[in-house]
Amino acid sequence: MTNLIDQARNREWFYPYELPDGNVVSSYHGGELDLIHATRWGMLERRLKAEHPHGFAGLKAVDLAAHQGWFAHNLAGMGLTDVLGIDARARHVEDASLMARIQGHDGLEFRQGDVFEIDANDLGTFDVVLMLGLLYHVENPVGALRVARSLCSGLCVIETQVAPNLSGMLDYGSYRFVRPMKGSFAIIDEMADTEGPEASVTGICLVPSLEALTWCMEKVGFRDIEVLPPPEDGYEQLVHGKRVMVAARA
């Protein structure tokens, strides 16, 4: 165990993991992002407790784009029975797995994988599906929503940056044929960042407006779509609606 803890101490972390001796691991952002993690976890925890007031035993969860696994660890710590974290980057999976060995959570597993290569027939379905901080890093956000839906038998929570919305009518082939816009996507260039720990793996990113997100979620088969309220003292982006956390049922 000492060896594992030393390994954790020698690494740099995105999340403020606490080690068994009470010390917090060192962060590569100097703690600047701790509030976004705490705000998101608080919002998620509240929604999950409302969904499962009698506890979490027997529930299965998948955390898509789990990074170093903090949300997956928190779910396991809350008592969910089986928690799987998936991330495209091998180094995150190694870090998350190291921390799982230190924390000793049963039923917590991490795998390397691209969300677009997930086959729900292999993985089955999950009572809780998390897709936090991923949607705005992918070139096919609707495809990512379809993957989340295919894995979900209960509650799905999606958290994303959102772009300004475009609404109104669009000439659609002719001025005589117009269609209403249901939302919009902004393109963000991450082509130079694809090696970054939080970035897109392809470099082309489509960020949905909130209207686009909720409309697409409904069209891929989610229901009871709900934008979760942020706490007043939360991370500024969530407080001001520049990022949102949306829960929906399968």
Ligand X SMILES: C[S@@+](CC[C@H](N)C(=O)[O-])C[C@H]1O[C@@H](n2cnc3c(N)ncnc32)[C@H](O)[C@@H]1O
Which residue intervals of the chain are DSSP H helices? 2-9, 34-51, 70-78, 90-103, 120-123, 141-151, 210-219, 236-239
How near is the Cβ of 174 to ligand X at its closest, in Å?
A: 38
Using CB under 6 A, pick the residue from 52, 60, 73, 89 that binds ligand X.
Answer: 89
Going by C-alpha positions, the residue among 49, 111, 119 that lies closest to residue 80 is 49
Using CB under 6 A, pick the residue from 34, 45, 114, 218 that binds ligand X.
Answer: 114
Beta carbon nearer to ligand X, 96 or 212: 96
243 counts as binding ligand X under rule CB under 6 A: no
Beta carbon nearer to ligand X, 60 or 137: 137
99 counts as binding ligand X under rule CB under 6 A: no
Q: How many residues bind ligand X (CB under 6 A)?
A: 18
Beta carbon nearer to ligand X, 55 or 196: 196
Going by C-alpha positions, the residue among 82, 71, 75, 83 that lies closest to residue 15 is 71
Going by C-alpha positions, the residue among 133, 153, 143, 131 that lies closest to residue 243 is 133
Q: Dihedrals φ, ψ of 76, to 5°?
A: -65, -40
72 counts as binding ligand X under rule CB under 6 A: no
Using CB under 6 A, pick the residue from 44, 59, 62, 65 that binds ligand X.
Answer: 65
The site string for ligand X over 3-42 (x = CB under 6 A, - otherwise) reads ----------------------------------------
State how beta strands 185-189 and 204-208 pair.
antiparallel
CA distances from 137 to 115, 117, 162, 197 (A): 12, 16, 11, 12
Going by C-alpha positions, the residue among 121, 130, 126 that lies closest to residue 153 is 126
Beta carbon nearer to ligand X, 140 or 181: 140
> How far is Cα 56 from Cα 127, in angstroms, rounded to an integer?
10
How near is the Cβ of 173 to ligand X at its closest, in Å?
A: 34
How near is the Cβ of 22 to ligand X at its closest, in Å?
A: 23
85 counts as binding ligand X under rule CB under 6 A: no
The neighbouring-strand residues paired with 207 are 186
Q: What residues line the site for ligand X (CB under 6 A)?
A: 65-67, 87-89, 92, 114-116, 132-134, 137-138, 198, 200-201
